[in-house]
């Protein structure tokens, strides 16, 4: 349910069925438990939203919070007389630059090393003593 991606119809049906079963089981097994609003939303409205928009996680507040952080970092570049106007400018610029993707949030990510780049090729490459050509005598204990 929390996945920030379009949910496949079969997955959506499974989630909805599980949600209904979960709430009904809870009420049948423990009748003294009162159904609270979040359970009601999970049972009745989350499936409708999933049907209508294809995802819940995509429209959740977590992605908006991430966008908010990114906007705050770059607000000075898109400043106009109103903040909503600045937001619109920001979204427009992101859409034009084709940067409106998750990739912009992974700042400073290191690219992985090529395959085999870190394997020892020569006798002295490894850090273990066996790879450095026999035992090493500690200088401090030598008398």
Query: Any contact of residue 45 with another protein (CB under 8 A)?
Result: yes
* The one among 22, 77, 120, 123 contacting another protein by CB under 8 A: 22
Query: Any contact of residue 95 with another protein (CB under 8 A)?
Result: yes
C-alpha dist (Å) from residue 2 to 12, 35, 59? 12, 22, 10
Please identify, using beta-carbon distances, which residue of 28 and 118 lies nearer to another protein: 28
Least spacing, CB of residue 44 vs another protein, in Å? 5
Q: What is the DSSP letter of 41?
A: I
Instruction: Give the span between the Cα atoms of 38 and 45, in whole angstroms.
Output: 10
Q: Write down the H helix ranges in 1-143.
A: 9-29, 37-40, 46-53, 61-74, 83-96
Residues at the contact surface with another protein, assessed by CB under 8 A = 1-2, 14-15, 18-19, 21-27, 29-30, 33-46, 48-49, 52, 56-57, 59-62, 64, 82-85, 88, 91-92, 95-96
């Amino acid at each position: 349910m929390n996945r920030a991606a379009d949910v496949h119809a079969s997955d959506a049906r499974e989630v909805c069925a599980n949600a209904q079963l979960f709430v009904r089981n809870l009420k049948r097994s423990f009748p003294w438990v009162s159904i609270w609003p979040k359970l009601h939303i999970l049972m009745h409205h989350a499936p409708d939203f999933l049907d209508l928009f294809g995802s819940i996680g995509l429209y959740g507040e977590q992605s908006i919070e991430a966008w908010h952080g990114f906007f705050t970092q770059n607000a000075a570049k898109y400043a106009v007389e109103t903040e909503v106007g600045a937001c619109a400018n920001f979204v427009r610029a992101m859409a034009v630059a084709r940067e409106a993707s998750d990739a912009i949030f992974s700042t400073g990510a290191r690219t992985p090393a090529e395959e085999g780049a870190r394997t020892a090729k020569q006798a002295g490459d490894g850090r273990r003593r066996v790879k450095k050509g026999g035992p090493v005598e500690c200088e401090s204990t030598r008398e």
